[in-house]
Amino acid sequence: MEPVTRRTVLVLGAVGAAAAVTGAGAFLWSQVDGGEPPAPDAVPPSEPGVPSAGILGEPEVLTSSQGRLELTLTAALTDVVVAGAQIRALTYNGSLPGPTLRVRPGDRISLAFSNRLDAPTNLHTHGLLVSPEGNGDNSFVTVEPGATFEYGFRLGRDHPPGVFWYHPHHHGNVAEQIFGGLYGAIIVEDESPVDHQAIEDRERVLVISDIGFDASGDLRVASAMDRMFGREGDLVMVNGQVGATLDLRPGARERWRVLNACTSRHLRLRLDGQRMQLLGIDGGRYPETPDVDEIVLVPGNRADLLVTAVEGESVLRTLPFDRGGLGMMGGPVSAVSGADLLAFRVSGAAAPTPGELPPQPTPRDLRRETMTGRRTLTLAMGGMGMMGGGMSFTIDGHEFDAARVDAEAALGTLEEWTLVNTSTMDHPFHLHTWQMQLIEVGGIPIAGVDWRDVVPVPAGSSTVVRIPFERLTGRSVYHCHILDHEDNGMMGVIRTT
C-alpha cells in the first residue's frame, strides 16, 4: 500500500488509498482521486430533450416549536412534473420529496398518517433513536389503503443531531413505494449550533433519489431482474429536480444535508473545484472535519457537509459505482453510469471569509470498551429455481418472517457483529433503533470513530460493527438497504429486553 499521510488516514478512516480506488473497496468517502477523472470543462447537466429545471428548490420545512411537532402526512398517487414531463408519482402531501421535518432533541412528534395508496404501507423514521413499538417507529404496523394511523414518539434529550429521514417500511412494498417517490428528510438540530451566522451563509437539504417512468408517465414497473439486482431509475433527482442549478458567491460557506434516498443506487459524489468538509455520516459526527474530494453514500446513508464556494463552474455528480452482480449471469451489471446532479456556478463579489469551525465533541469509541457478546450474521443470495423462479435473499439462511425473533439482546449490553457477505453483490446493512460503530470493512480497520446506521458489506467480504443496546427496548429489524433485497427477504428481527 502507498504511504498514507495523517490527513489521508483521517479522511479514509484507514480503508486506505489502494482500497478506495478499486470499485469494490470504495465504500467510504475518500480524499484520493476516485478513478475516472472528471471532465475538465464542467458543463451544466443536461439530457437531450430535458429542459433545464432552473434553480434548485427545497421541500417545505415543518419545524417544531415549544418541544412539539404536529403534522399530517398523506401518501397518495399524485400528478407531478419531473424533468419537464407530467408524470404520476407517489408523494407525501403532494410533493416530491415530502416535507422536511426539523426537530430538536427532547421534542415530541405527533404524526397523523393517512394512506391513500392502493397498497398497504406504513412509516419508518430511519435513524431516529425512538421506540420501535406501539405507535412509535414500528415497522410491523400495517396501514391499509384508505386507513389512518397516529404515530407519536419523543426524541431523547441526548438524541444525536444530524440528518435522518422517513419512508415506507411495509415488507413487500418498500422498494416500489420508495422508488415511486415516498421519502422526506428529518433534521435533528444541534444543541449548540455548528451553524451560527458567522460561519455559514445558508443551510440546504439535498434529497438525492432516482425514479423511472414509461412513455405514458406511469412509474416503471420493476422486472424480475430489477428485483434481484435492485431497481435503479434512469432519472437521478435532487429535491425532485433533474438538472437544477445553484448560484453562490465565492467564499460562501453552506451546510448541506445530503440524503441518498435511492432504492438501490450507490452514490459516489464529487464536486470538483469546490471545497467540501464532512461533519459526519448518518447520526454520527467526526471530532475533526476533514476535507474530502469524494463521498460514498450507500442507500439510506446521509452526509452532513460544509461546502465552501470557489469561483468558477462545477458540477455535483455521482460517479459510476460497481456494486456487484448476479454471479452466474456474467460481469457486473450494476456498474451503472454516473449522473450529473447539479450545476454549480460561483461568481460575483466575494462573501465574507467564514470563521473557524467550533470544536466538535469527542464521540464515544466502543473500541475502548469491552464487548459483552459477539455474533456473526451471514448475508446470502441463493441459486435460481426457488419459488417463482427467483433467487433467495437470506440472513443466516432465513427469509424474513415477522413472527420469528432472529436475535435477542439484553438492554445495556455491547455487542460486536461480524456481517459476512457470501454473495456476489454488495448488501448495505441497516439496523433500526440502535446505532452501529463501524470497526472494520474487508479486514481493514477503520482509523477514526465512525458511527452510522447503514454500513457497507461488500460482495464476498465482511464488515465488523459494534452496537450499544442501550436506551430502547422492543422488537425491531435489521436488513439490506437495497430495498428490493429487503422485500425479497433479506431482513431479520431483533428483540431487546
Rounded CA separation 253/367 (Å): 34
Rounded CA separation 43/228 (Å): 35
Angle at CA 394, nearest 5°, toward 437 and 418?
A: 30
Q: Is 104 in the site for ligand C2O (CB under 6 A)?
A: no
Q: Is 485 in the site for Cu ion (CB under 5 A)?
A: yes
CB of 269 closer than 8 Å to CB of 307: no
Footprint (CB under 6 A) of ligand C2O, residues 166-225: 167, 169
Running DSSP on this structure, what letter comes out for residue 179? Answer: H
Among 28, 341, 482, 483, binds Cu ion (CB under 5 A): 482
Rounded CA separation 471/434 (Å): 8
Number of residues that bind ligand C2O (CB under 6 A): 9
Contact partner at residue 169 from ligand C2O, Cu ion, none, CB < 5 to 8 Å by partner kind: ligand C2O
Burial label for 408, CB within 10 Å (0-12, 13-18, 19+), is: exposed
Q: Reduce the DSSP state of residue 299 to 3 states and report it.
A: coil
Q: Least distance to Cu ion from the beta carbon of 244, Å?
A: 27
Q: Least distance to ligand C2O from the beta carbon of 298, Å?
A: 11
Q: Reduce the DSSP state of residue 7 to 3 states and report it.
A: helix
Burial label for 188, CB within 10 Å (0-12, 13-18, 19+), is: buried
User: Which residue has its beta carbon closest to ligand C2O?
Assistant: 126
Contact partner at residue 485 from Cu ion, ligand C2O, none, CB < 5 to 8 Å by partner kind: Cu ion
Burial code (b: 16+ CB inside 10 Å, e: under 16) for 353-367 equals ebeebeeeeebeebe
Number of residues that bind Cu ion (CB under 5 A): 6
Q: Is 432 in the site for ligand C2O (CB under 6 A)?
A: yes
Contact partner at residue 160 from Cu ion, ligand C2O, none, CB < 5 to 8 Å by partner kind: none
Nearer to Cu ion, 89 or 261 (CB): 261
Q: Which residues contact 388 (CB under 8 A, 6 or more apart)?
A: none
Q: Which residues contact 425 (CB under 8 A, 6 or more apart)?
A: 229, 230, 323, 324, 325, 326, 334, 381, 459, 482
Nearer to ligand C2O, 253 or 430 (CB): 430
Q: Least distance to ligand C2O from the beta carbon of 160, Å?
A: 17
Footprint (CB under 6 A) of ligand C2O, residues 294-353: 300
Running DSSP on this structure, what letter comes out for residue 174? Answer: H
Among 19, 23, 121, 124, binds ligand C2O (CB under 6 A): 124
Instruction: List the x/- string, 403-442, binding to Cu ion by CB under 5 A.
Output: ------------------------x----x----------
Among 104, 126, 466, 475, binds ligand C2O (CB under 6 A): 126
Instruction: List the x/- string, 471-490, binding to ligand C2O by CB under 6 A.
Output: --------x-x---------
Nearer to Cu ion, 8 or 488 (CB): 488
Q: Is 266 in the site for ligand C2O (CB under 6 A)?
A: no
Burial label for 116, CB within 10 Å (0-12, 13-18, 19+), is: middle
The contact set with ligand C2O (CB under 6 A) reads 124, 126, 167, 169, 300, 430, 432, 479, 481
Interface residues with Cu ion (CB under 5 A)? 126, 427, 432, 480, 482, 485
